[in-house]
Copies of this chain bind each other. A is one copy, B any other.
Amino acid sequence: MTLSKKPYKGCRDFIPKDMRIREFLFNNMHSSAKKFAYEPYDGPLLEEVELYKAKSGEELINDQIYSFEDRGGRQVAIRPEMTPTLARMVAGVHREVPKPLRWYSIPNLMRYEKPQRGRVREHWQYNVDIFGAPKNLGEVEILNLIIDFLTGFGADKSMFSILINDRSIVDSLFCQVLGLDEEKSYKLYKVIDKAKKVSAEKLDKMIIETIEDTKKIDAFKEYLSCSTFEDILAYIQKHQLQEQTQDFAQFIQMVKELSMADYIQYDPTIVRGLDYYTGIVFEIFDKHPENNRAIAGGGAYANLLQIFNEPALSGVGFGLGDVTLKDFLATHNLLPDFTHAQNDLYVFYTQKEQQLKSLNWSNDLRAHNLNIELHLGEIKFNKIFKLAQNKGYEHIAIIEERDGKVTAQLKNLSDKSSEVFELTDIQSIKKYLKKG
């Protein structure tokens, strides 16, 4: 039987040219988090299913999770998201460490998705969270970090937009203005979630079915028509919701003072489903017409540790997938060229007798923090250049004996210049490579 060379459905093989892109994305994630003093963490690949049942919507458990029974009879799942693991870990340590906790991770996650553009079964997700920060300062820092992360790739306000809302506004609206009970609230959250995905007629029908009262329907539609911070602040005032939503007004004030307002836009339809969020919620959208999708989403939550019977600890965080990020960068031409590996030097020897010297010399260069590819086996002189050029090298070295002395001839493949060095003169060689 011949085995398939394809990866498992919905999963990706990362051969080096793909992996170089992934490393580029991950390196930027690491450095962006570390700039804001966020610390790395990671958890196990498997968690008991109970953890997800306690936290997530039923859809995830029933349809999207990779779960099975282990040999000890435990119902386990491959992590479909990081937040439950994060909550479990924070619940275990939060009493012993000073607040706020600033944590980030880049785990691989699995969901049982139907593979399509932007959706795969295994993906990596940049998760950044802050716990125990003063109200609004955590929210602002998380948004600051994500803007810094995206602009670090060269993205600007013409390319992405952070659509933002506040769950406490929606909650106040449902309870005080519309007077909905829990069941109707739940239903209307689902309607909001779908507001942009369905036709105006269909939306109307869903609203009427849920609210019934004509005046209240109008109040709700008025809410849905808010599209700026000014709109929603006026709406809040008109319906006398100030008390429940004063944090949001202060938040808007800070966003403006920190020149983040250019990237942020109010959107009444952002509620992040039936998730655990309680305050600010946001989604980052690619503005490009060919890739008009959410790149990332997040928000503030008051009570993630409750399922572990721990005191409340507020948090703010976001998750950003590697696939949507890569698609976003590619759409806006922000991905550098990763066709070739970026080594410092490609070393050749044309005479078998120089093999040992070439091996040792390559090691000497490596000891000076140079990344060296050694061509294994002697090679004919006229084959060297094509090989090095195909691999995208800027510099090569040829180790040869000339007039009784073994030297290194370094060549710059762009300007065709070359220079001969003593094998021991590593410092001059380093300078030559830097210059090139």
A positions within 8 Å CB-CB of B: 1-9, 11-16, 19-20, 22-23, 34-37, 39-48, 50-51, 54, 66, 68, 70-72, 74, 76, 78, 88-89, 91-93, 98, 100, 102-103, 108, 110, 112, 122, 133-134, 137-138, 140-141, 144, 148, 254, 257-258, 307-309, 341, 343, 356, 359-360, 363, 366, 369-374, 376-377, 387, 390-391
Contact = CB atoms under 8 A, between A and B. Distances in A.
Nearest to A257: B356
A66 B40 CA distance: 27
State the number of copies, please: 2
B16 A39 contact: yes
Contacts of A4: 48, 88
Contacts of A356: 254, 257-258
Contacts of A360: 258
A308 B44 CA distance: 32
A326 to B, nearest CB: 14
Given A3-B88, A3-B308, A9-B72, A343 B46 contact: no
A45 B44 contact: no
Contacts of A391: 98
A29 to B, nearest CB: 13
Contact of A40 (B23, B98, B387): B23
Given A44-B13, A92-B5, A39 B341 contact: yes
Given A9-B72, A88-B5, A391-B98, A372 B45 contact: no
A37 B7 contact: no
